[in-house]
Each structure stands twice: as C-alpha cells, then as structure tokens.
Amino acid sequence: MKNNRLLKILLITIFITISYVMLYFSSNEIYIERFEGIFVGFNELYINNHIRLDNIMLIPLISHNVNGDFGLPLRVQQIIETESYFPCFITLFLTLHYVTGLPTFYLIALPLGVLFIPIAYIAMIKKYINTNNKVIFFLLSIYMVLYLISTRSYGSFYVAVPSLLLVIIIFISIKNNLNMINRKSNYIIILISLISLVHYWHSMFMIIFLYIFTLFFIYLLYYLTKKFNFLNKYNKFLYFHKYNVITLLSILLLATVVVFTFSHLWQSEYISGYISDSSLEDYFVNAITKLFGGKSFYVPYSYNYKSLLYGKVYFISLLSLYALSTFLLITSIFFYLYIYRNNNVVRHKDNLFFALSILISTVIFTFLYYKSNSVSFPQVLLFFPIFGLSLYTYIIKNQKSYKQYILIIITVIMILLSILVTISLVLTNEAGATSLTKYMDTEVSFYWLYNYSDKSNDIIVDFNILGLYLQHESKSEKLALQYKDLSPYSYSVLIGDNVDTINIFHDNYAIIDHSTMQRGLPVHVTTARSLMMPHLNEINNCKNQNKLYMDNCISIYYIN
C-alpha cells in the first residue's frame, strides 16, 4: 500500500512537471536565446540555400579545417565553424524539421526533453539504487524530476537534451557490463552512444570520458594492490575480479579512439591555449570565487541577479543543493570505509568505485575546462545525489534506523529546494537569462536596417539579437549585414564611459534592445557568456551616437 502511494506521487509529479514545462516554457520561449537562437539562424541559412553543410567534418582527425565560404560576412563564417561542432544534432534537428513540417523557431522552443529525460533518469536511479529501499528510490526520483525543471535539460530542444540522454544510457550500460548483463549488446550501445555524443556536445562527452578514465584506474589500482600484495592493511577492500579491469579497459579504449578520431576540439585553439596558460592556483582561485557567488572571470558592467530578493533566494537555494549533493557523495564514501574497516570481504565495492570516480572526474573536468571562461560543476547536481545515495542504500540495512531517516530528511529538503529554485527563476526571468524581446518583435527593425543601412559598416548586436536577426536575414536574397558582437569595450563607448577609442567604432550601427533594458533586465554578450547591467539612460543621453530608428522593442543608433 505504501509503495503504491509513493508510485502515485511520482506519477503525479511527472505529469505536473510535463504540463508545467510544456505550457510555461513554450508560451514564454524559455531557453531559446543566445546559442539556441544562433543555432536556429544557422539552420535557416541552410534551409534557405545560403550555406552548405559540406563544411561539417565528421572525422576531424583526418581533416579539421572547416570548408568555409569566404564570400559570406565574417561573423556568419564564424558561426558556420562553431556550429560544425554539432553535426549529429544538426542532422537530428533538420530531420525533425522536414518530417514534422514544424518551423525551426517552433521546433527549438519545444521542451521535448521533459518527455523522456525523467524516464531515463528514473531508469538510471533504479539501476544504481538498492531498490529494496523504496522510499529513497521514490524520493530521489521525485527530486531529479523536479530539479531538472531549472536546467536546459527540459528546456529548448537543443544539444543538452540528447546529450544528457546519451550520458545516462552510457552510465546504465557500464553498470550492466560490470554486472555481466548482456555484455555484447551493452558494448555496442556504449560505442554508438559515444560516437553520437562526441558529435552532439564535446563537453558532455568529456564528462563521461573522464568518468570512464577515472573508474578504470581506480579498479586497476585496487587490482594491482591485491595482486602484488601492496598496502596489506587495506587488502580487505580488494575483493573483486580481474574481469572488471578488462571490461573497463575495453570501454576506455573505445572512448579514447572516439575522442581522438571524432572530437571537434581539434578544430579549436583551446587545447594549445590551455596548455600554455593554465595553473592549479588560477583554477582554485576561480573555483572558490564561483562557489561563493563571485564572478570567476571579470567582465565590466556585469549584471548581478543576486542584488534582487528572488535572485538571492535562487542563489542560496542552488548553493544549498550543491552543498547537500556534495555532502551526500563525500559522506557516503567515508561512511562506507568506516563501516567495513573490520570486514574481510568488501561488498558492493562497485558503488564505492562509482562514487569515487564521479567525484574525481568532476574535479578533473572543471580543471580542464575552466579556461573556457566558465567554472561550472554540472555533475554535482546531475549525478552526485544518485551515486551518493546509491552507496548509502547498500550499506544501511535497517530502513528504520536514524541514518535512514537522516537520508530521507536530506532528500526531502533537496526536493523543497529544487521547487524554490524553480519559483525564484520564474520571478527573475531565469536569473536575467530570458529577454523580453522575441523573434516577431525584431522583424520590422531588421528590415529597416537591411534596407536603409550602409552594408559596408559593422552592426553591433548583443548575443540574443544576433540569432534573431540572423533568422530574419536568412529569408533575404543575400547575406549582406556585417555583424559584430557587442562587448564590454563597445558597450563602454555606447554609454559614454570611453571616448578615447570611439574612432574604432566610427560609422558602426548599434542595435539596442530597449524593451528588455527598460525592465531592468541585462544585456547579453558573448564575452565569457556574460550578462551586463542595463544602462539605457546613459545610451540615450550619450553624444557618441545618434538614434536613427525606434519601435516598441528595438532602437538603432549610428556611432559618430
């Protein structure tokens, strides 16, 4: 009877989540700006025969030079190169567009992830959690379903959706392989998933690659310790089979071949720059700054959503989720070692190694990627609770013990915090990430600019408007506009803080989203993917530029 009630609660939670996400996300066009808007513009350029797709390299190891069309505007060439990193998703997106007949704008706005990501997560939880502990299983499932509302995993139909699904599939397949369940089938699933994932999103691929890498070396270390009788004191922890090492070695070799053959990281200059400029001290400074709410990378005029009441609520709630997720994982590892310190046989050792691997690989991942001007810890909220509670559910035998009740309380608190995060995001326009100006709001201003501007002059646009204008221009006969990304440097000229270098932007046009700025919402820039404070009055009063055009949402200025 109790299990039936829990199942009903879980099903009701999933139904409410799907209904809410479908209605709110679609009607308010949540998470379809910035990268998503540019991606739609890229696809529209192809659909309207402005670009070809033969520039996409499926095997960068053989050739990683993008075959660009040098007759196109420079910013369009850069967009083509960037989008070439996602060939699988381009194929999937265009296939769905042609099969369903849905315009690309509506297709990107559909939160399709909410239809299958919750089911995939529940399947992963069932695979890793001791299902004899029904309460933790259902509570953790409810938490994951609710928490993901605040991420892009449910949001727009972009790379996060299929990438996360593939990562979950790989996690499940690795567990099956180590448990000797359908080994050949799972090898095939892992191989296909890895090749697909590296062509969807290299960041997600590196998350799973580093996990596999770490997991293999943990198993190998313990195997060698047992075989050669090192560290006799800890031999009681080394009861496992050589089969696991061989299995993980084969999976790691598969992943290594995939990363060197298919990874589009070889097209970028990130690796060489990282090798020459990274340091542990720099990483720790940026990571600590990020964890305490600061800006890891300085950007002038940065927008601080934490200055708002609900912004503070969002930050504190999210930070609490990070703390509880990390607490669950780390304490489960120490609790496991404490409980079994006097045992001669280690049980459920796989769960210990899983927990150690996700912890170590997360640290490695953030260190390897911090030079991308983004210090983030996606694994903490996506996977720490699963691996931490997995270990706990196998070592806590008495489900009526105080330890079990502590886990229940922590999981319930995480559920409440995830709800609080979602509510505070709604009340802050997703912490400032959602602009008020949408696709249809920019049509008139775009055609005025296209028809009346001097095509030889640069056009300064923010991160959001760039994608929207690109979508409009794809329907024109010729790509003629010379877009230039708005930066803190050019922004300082527009608000009058920098008059010494105004000649650099002489004769440039500047597109200003005054509708969004009037509401106190930030300006989107590509620099460190940041948001900048709105200074609309300063722009209107600055003598560096003249206003040429204005409608309900957009103003167009000419810089003198």
| Residue pair 203/197 in contact by the 8 Å Cβ criterion | no
Q: What pLDDT was estimated at residue 68?
A: 58
Q: What pLDDT was estimated at residue 236?
A: 47
Average pLDDT over all residues of the chain: 83
Looking at the predicted structure, is the pLDDT value of residue 172 above 90? yes
The span from the CA of 453 to the CA of 558, in Å, is: 10
CA end-to-end distance (rounded Å), the chain: 75
Amino acid in the structure at residue 375: V
| Residue pair 446/424 in contact by the 8 Å Cβ criterion | no
Left if phi > 0, otherwise alpha if psi is -120 to 50, otherwise beta: which for 483?
A: beta
Give residue-wise pLDDT tens across range 420-467: 999 998 898 888 888 888 888 899 999 999 998 888 899 999 989 999
| Residue pair 55/80 in contact by the 8 Å Cβ criterion | yes
Q: What pLDDT was estimated at residue 212?
A: 93
Across-strand partners of 523?
Answer: 532
Looking at the predicted structure, is the pLDDT value of residue 1 above 60? no
C-alpha 509: how far from chain center? 33
Q: What is the DSSP string of 168-193?
A: HHHHHHHHHHHTTSSHHHHHHHHHHH
Phi–psi pair at 351, nearest 5 degrees: -65, -35
The span from the CA of 265 to the CA of 61, in Å, is: 10
Least confident of 53-57, 194-198, 524-528: 53-57
Looking at the predicted structure, is the pLDDT value of residue 240 above 60? no
Q: Which two tokens stand for residue 414?
A: 């995480």
- Mean pLDDT over residues 488-510, rounded? 82
Q: Which two tokens stand for residue 228?
A: 């050669």
Strands 531-532 and 523-524: antiparallel
Strands 458-461 and 531-532: unpaired
Residue 316 three-state SS: helix
Looking at the predicted structure, is the pLDDT value of residue 62 above 70? no
Rg (CA), the chain: 25
Least confident of 18-22, 229-233, 535-539: 229-233
Residue 155 three-state SS: coil
Give residue-wise pLDDT tens across range 94-126: 999 999 988 888 888 888 888 888 999 999 999
Give this prediction's pTM. Answer: 0.88
Percent of the chain with pLDDT over 70: 86
Looking at the predicted structure, is the pLDDT value of residue 66 above 80? no
- Mean pLDDT over residues 340-349, rounded? 64
Across-strand partners of 546?
Answer: 558
Q: 237 falls in which pLDDT band (50, 70, 90)?
A: very low
